[in-house]
């Protein structure tokens, strides 16, 4: 295949996780058949983009999506803080327009609605979009593409602000979407993009971030080349701790909005994140985590310890399937009602309400959403007081 961003060939292999079920492909019963797809990571030496080699039909992944952003207090606070900051910096008011691509259940846009600022959400999952509309967030149930951007312009819409949180990684048609952002954005408008940072993924051995929904893994250099191709400049950048390490970039047609933080981070990436040698030993480090986790769980189970999984996350599905550890877990708990009563992909573990943690008091809970470790452990203080312990698998296996 050719690079998803620049179209060049000669992609270099980084890691293969083998054939995997869809990470969010929760099952209605343990016997339900499921498909698997190759999960191979490669690097483009021309534009530095790290990416998967294959595509899965987006409808199989997103039409019945069960991830609700409002389920995390960390996400809600991050969104509210960002909206407050953006309203102030851009001077937004009732005559402005804010659009969010992949708006989920309205977790972010509802903050603008509360402030009296017009919004439009765009999301392909009907169930989640209806939830957003019930919360007062107007939402189009569609995929965002260039064609939709043109339709919005024809209807008189031009955005002062476009948000795209954790969607850039999911796009098989990168240039189509970025061109849509470019034409939909006002001359002095901004697009605020949040996406997991490839440096954190590599440095912290976050291999469970690699799944079929996440087609692309970005550095600032890769993002800059992508947006520059469509007449947009990265004018600001922040490194966030959320999701195990993310970039928040601000892009605009107005290059005069440039902040020196962009130069500083780009300089720090040069001769590292643009060099294939930086990625070459990732696979060996992943094997160490796999072996350490498998050995720990095997040892605990051999001593008659009861272990469960905490959070039926996409990360958790990758971790359990790649490491082959489903056999050591009794069940998985998750606070999202839409997931409860279903079964985890590949490992076929029942997903239960977190209240079961106190009902059965297992010895250990494996954090399958380790990126929200502080939030989860703060919520489960009673489990900890009773002697329960958490296993954190990334970046190194440890008990807390």
pLDDT at 60: 82
Give 58's pLDDT tier (boundaries 50, 70, 90). confident
pLDDT at 74: 83
Give 71's pLDDT tier (boundaries 50, 70, 90). confident
* Rounded percentage of the chain residues whose pLDDT exceeds 70: 99
CA–CA separation, 229 and 207 (whole Å): 29
pLDDT at 57: 85
State the distance between the two ends of the chain, measured CA to CA, in whole angstroms.
43
Domains and CATH numbers, the chain: 69-278 (3.40.50.150), 283-399 (3.40.50.720)
User: Which whole-number Å values give the CA distances from 332 to 20, 147, 311, 351, 353, in the listed order?
Assistant: 19, 41, 7, 5, 9
Residues 112-129, mean pLDDT to the nearest whole number:
95
Residues 175-201, mean pLDDT to the nearest whole number:
97
pLDDT at 148: 97
pLDDT at 75: 84
Give 63's pLDDT tier (boundaries 50, 70, 90). low
Check pLDDT > 90 for residue 30: yes
Higher pLDDT, 57 or 354: 354
Residues 47-73, mean pLDDT to the nearest whole number:
82
Residues 28-57, mean pLDDT to the nearest whole number:
95
Give 5's pLDDT tier (boundaries 50, 70, 90). very high
pLDDT at 65: 65
pLDDT at 329: 98
Check pLDDT > 90 for residue 399: yes
Q: What digits encode the pLDDT tens for the residues 295-320?
A: 999 999 999 999 999 999 999 999 99
With CA atoms as reference, report the closest residue to 129 among 156, 152, 161, 107. 107
Q: What digits encode the pLDDT tens for the residues 43-53?
A: 999 999 999 99
pLDDT at 15: 96
Give 244's pLDDT tier (boundaries 50, 70, 90). confident
pLDDT at 220: 98
Give 234's pLDDT tier (boundaries 50, 70, 90). very high
With CA atoms as reference, report the closest residue to 147 among 120, 122, 164, 166. 122
């Amino acid at each position: 295949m050719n690079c998803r961003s620049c179209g060049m060939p000669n992609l270099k292999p980084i890691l293969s996780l083998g054939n995997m079920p869809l990470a969010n492909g929760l099952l209605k019963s343990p016997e339900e058949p499921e498909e698997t797809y190759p999960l191979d990571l490669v690097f483009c030496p021309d534009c530095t983009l790290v990416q998967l080699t294959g595509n899965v039909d987006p409808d199989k992944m997103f039409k019945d999506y069960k991830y609700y952003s409002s389920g995390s207090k960390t996400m809600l606070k991050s969104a509210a803080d960002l909206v407050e900051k953006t309203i102030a910096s851009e001077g937004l008011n009732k005559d402005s327009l804010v659009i969010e691509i992949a708006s989920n259940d309205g977790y972010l846009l509802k903050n603008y609605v509360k402030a009296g600022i017009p919004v439009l959400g765009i999301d392909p999952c009907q169930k989640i979009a209806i939830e957003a509309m019930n919360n007062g967030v107007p939402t189009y149930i569609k995929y965002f593409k260039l064609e939709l951007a043109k339709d919005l312009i024809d209807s008189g819409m031009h955005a002062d602000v476009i948000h795209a949180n954790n969607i850039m990684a999911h796009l098989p048609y990168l240039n189509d979407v970025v061109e849509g952002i470019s034409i939909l954005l006002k001359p002095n408008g901004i697009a605020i993009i949040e996406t997991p940072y490839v440096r954190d993924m590599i440095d912290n051995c976050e291999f469970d971030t690699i799944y079929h929904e996440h087609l692309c893994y970005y550095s600032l250099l890769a993002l800059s080349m992508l947006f520059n191709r469509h007449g947009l400049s990265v004018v600001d950048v922040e490194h966030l701790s959320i999701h195990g390490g993310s970039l928040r970039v601000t892009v605009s047609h107005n290059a005069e909005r440039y902040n020196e933080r962009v130069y500083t981070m780009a300089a720090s990436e040069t001769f590292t994140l643009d060099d294939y040698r930086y990625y070459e030993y990732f696979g060996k480090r992943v094997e160490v985590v796999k072996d350490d986790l498998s050995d720990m769980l095997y040892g605990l189970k051999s001593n008659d310890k009861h272990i469960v999984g905490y959070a039926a996350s996409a990360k958790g599905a990758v971790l359990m399937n790649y490491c082959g550890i489903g056999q050591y877990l009794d069940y998985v708990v998750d606070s999202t009602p839409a997931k409860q009563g279903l079964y985890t992909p590949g490992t076929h573990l029942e997903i239960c309400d977190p209240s079961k943690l106190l009902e059965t008091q297992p010895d250990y809970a494996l954090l399958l959403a380790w990126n929200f470790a502080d939030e989860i452990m703060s919520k489960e203080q009673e489990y900890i007081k009773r002697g329960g312990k958490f296993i954190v698998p990334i970046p190194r296996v440890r008990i807390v």
